[in-house]
Structure 1
Amino acid sequence: MNVPNMITLCRFILIPLYLLLFFSDIPNRMYWSFGVLLLAGLTDVVDGYLARRSRQVTQLGSMLDPLVDKLMVLAVFLSLLLTQRVGFVATAAVFIRDLGMIVTTAFFHFQRKATISANLMGKMTTVLYYIALFLLIFDQPGAEMFLWGVIVFSFLTSFVYLFQFKLLNQKWM
């Protein structure tokens, strides 16, 4: 196992740590939980950079990296839903999109189809989600409206990925 993949695997540990901090009674728990979320984002950038720089991009890493990202986002949205910082419909939209991406990626991976690496739109979606999560965690005005813009953009990004996948593999499933 290479270093970028080990970093990706370590990011899985950050998911329960985020939840533990978010639902704890410790002082400044929102800052601590958001710090863990930022650490997950930074290690995502680092493992991707290391994989590309050292030419250690693997099929396993290409599947696990977006999986851990989406699981973290789902955990955060679940915590925000349970504390009424975000509505059910917005959370459901995020869950449907991200679970759809997880299932689709896994299906294509196990069918030995070529998968699509993150493109600029995918990376922008991630950054925009982090901004939305910051706004939601800290109860900022306009947070949910901003989130809806990000949700629409994320679905558009998903359609672009599906189109690219179709072109790469030359047929639907």
Structure 2
Amino acid sequence: MNLPNLLTILRFFLIPLFVLIFFSNLKYRYMIAIGIFLFSGLTDVLDGFIARRYNIVTKFGKLFDPLADKLMILTVLWCFVYKGYISPIIFYIVLFKELFMIVGSAILYGRIKIVVSANIYGKIATVLFYIAIISLLLKLEMSLYILVIAVIFAIFALIVYTVKYLSEYRRLRSTSDE
């Protein structure tokens, strides 16, 4: 087990910790929740940097790193829905997109051993989700606008992923049929 994979595993443990703090009665619970959320984001950036820099990219990391990110963002959005901070429709759109990506990625990996990698739109969406979530926790007025823009980027990333990997899947199938 290498350091990047340990950081990915750590992020899975940060998810219930975020929920526990978010729903606690602590005086500074939202500031602590922001800290946990930012620490999760930092470990995400750090594990990717270390894995690429020291050439220790693993299949585990390729599969579970994005899953940790998706689960953290979905968990935080669900917490916001539960508290009434955002509309459930935002959560369901992101949930559908992520489930579609997870199932699609699993199918592609299972059939033709392609690991779906992030595209620029997905990375922008993730950064926007982080900004929106932090601004929501800080109760800034612009936070819902940023969240909507993040959702739009996420949907666009899904479209780009779908087009790219369907064409790749068709290409590989057509070459294997020959």
What TM-score results when the alignment is normalised by the length of structure 1?
Answer: 0.92
Q: Which runs of 5+ in 2 are unaligned?
A: 174-178
Q: Which is higher, the Rg of structure 1 or of structure 2? A: 2
Shift of the alpha carbon at 1:57? 1.2
Q: Which residue of 1 aligns with 2:153?
A: 153
CA distance in 1, matches of 2:34, 2:149: 21
SS of residue matched to 1:111: helix
SS of residue matched to 2:151: helix
CA distances 1:96-151 after superposition (whole Å, capped 9, x unpaired):
11222222222323334212322322221111110111122222213222211111
SS of residue matched to 2:33: helix
Query: Which residue identity lines up with residue 29 of structure 1 in the other structure?
Result: R
Runs of 4+ in 1 over 6 A off after TM superposition: none
CA distance in 2, matches of 1:92, 1:54: 38
Matches within 5 A, 1:95-106: 95-106=95-106
CA distance in 1, matches of 2:4, 2:168: 25
* Kept after mapping to 1: 8 A contact 2:124/2:153: no
The answer to whether structure 1 residue 61 and structure 2 residue 61 are counterparts is: yes
What TM-score results when the alignment is normalised by the length of structure 2?
Answer: 0.89
Identical-residue share of aligned pairs (%): 37
* Kept after mapping to 1: 8 A contact 2:105/2:116: no
SS of residue matched to 2:127: helix
Moved more, 33-42 or 146-155: 146-155
Q: Which residue of 2 aligns with 1:20?
A: 20
Q: Which residue of 1 aligns with 2:74?
A: 74
Moved more, 163-172 or 47-56: 163-172
Q: CA RMSD in A?
A: 1.6
Q: Which residue of 1 aligns with 2:176?
A: none
The answer to whether structure 1 residue 9 and structure 2 residue 9 are counterparts is: yes
Distance 1:134 1:9, change over 3 A: same
Shift of the alpha carbon at 1:152? 1.0
CA distances 1:8-47 after superposition (whole Å, capped 9, x unpaired):
1111000000000000001110000111000000000000
How many residues get paired? 172
Q: Which residue of 2 aligns with 1:129?
A: 129
